[in-house]
Amino acid sequence: MRAAVISVLGLAALVVVSLTAILMQRGHSSASTVPVANAALSVPSSNTTPAQATAPRVSLPAYSESTGSIVPALLPASVPETPFADLSTCRSNSAVLGVSRMVEIDTTDGPGFGFEHFKEHDFLHDKEVVLTFDDGPWPHNTPAVLAALAAHCIKATFFPIGKHAIWHPEILRQVAQDGHTIGSHTWSHADLSKKSPEEAKREIEMGASAVHMAVGGKTAPFFRFPALRHPPEMVTYLGQRNVGIFSCDMDSFDFAMRKPDQVIRSVMNKLAKHGKGIILMHDFQRATAEALPELLNQLKANGYKIVHMVPKAPLQTLAQYDEMVQKENKLPTVSSRPTSSVVRSIP
């Protein structure tokens, strides 16, 4: 009897030790995240282009040569989504737009969307709108866009630039946490029609890898060409990669506008003409960020409905381009503390 008791106690102790080791390992893994970029940058004027924006480099997760991917321990398994429908300000609130319909996009063979360039797929009903935003993430402007979208309990699709994503991963993570769909928009907003095929592939893939790294979770196999210029070779390449191509039904041309009311008039006038569509805007632009609250109010007042696009399957990045993005970060520091804990104003 005594021997049996001792055996049971020994087994219990072994289980406790094993569980403790597992919990300690999980705690360590969850603490290692992509460092936040908190560079003090000025808000770009409405006529600033992404190529003119500069910011310091930040450290990204280490690349694993043995697995050919980002080390899993340094990234969360997934990014939690905020279900707007469950928020008290959204539930049964007739004053907000909300999401009227969610559509799943199967990107096998690289289908194209947006009647400015592609005529195959018309999935929107009358008065339905898909909101898309390019060139982020960017301080002040992207958070303002997110706040406006959240106030109306709606979700959109974002096409970030790879460099901007690694400069400001904390902003892009908020985009993901709010439940928006995240595609990509090249590494540096280069005009791919002026690049060699290999250079263009590198722009596409490094952009996708950088966005995926910054989010730290699943991203969509959705791509938008800069300036909506579609080199045929790259359209074919994206089809081989099973990445959907998104043009638009109407371009707001907000990058050429300095005042919020100009952005609102542009979008509403084009919607009045077309009746529905995928709208292209830029969360990089100040005028757009300032215009969005009233623009959403007017969409609601005029009976438009929001459609949210989600992918059937997540993007699969390529290891060689993951490594290229990691090498771009040439001067990583040991510190990963946010600026607020490193620099403080002295009274």
Catalytic (active-site) positions: 134, 282
209: left (phi over 0), alpha (psi -120 to 50) or beta: alpha
Instruction: Rounding to the nearest 10 degrees, give the CA dihedral for residues 214, 220, 226, 228.
Output: -170
| Helix/strand/coil for 133 | strand
- Beta-carbon neighbour count of residue 346 at 10 Å? 3
Residues composing the chain: 347
- Residues 6 or more apart in contact with residue 164 via CB below 8 angstroms: 50, 53, 55, 135, 136, 137, 138, 284
Q: Who's near 135: CB < 8 A, 6+ residues apart? A: 50, 159, 160, 161, 164, 185, 189, 282, 283, 284, 285
SS3 state at 152 = coil
- Side by side, the strands of the sheet bearing 112-113 are 112-113, 244-246, 222-223
CA distance 7 to 23: 25
In the three-class reduction of DSSP (H, G, I as helix; E, B as strand; rest coil), residue 302 is classed as: coil
Sequence letter at residue 23: L
Are the CB atoms for 97 and 299 separated by under 8 Å? yes
Work out whether the CA dihedral 160, 161, 164, 170 comes out positive or negative: positive
- Cα(251)–Cα(281) distance, rounded to whole angstroms? 7
Dist. CA 113–CA 247, nearest whole Å:
6
Tell me how far apart the alpha carbons of residues 290 and 11 are, in angstroms, rounded to a whole number. 63
Distance in angstroms (rounded) separating the CA atoms of residues 187 and 190: 8
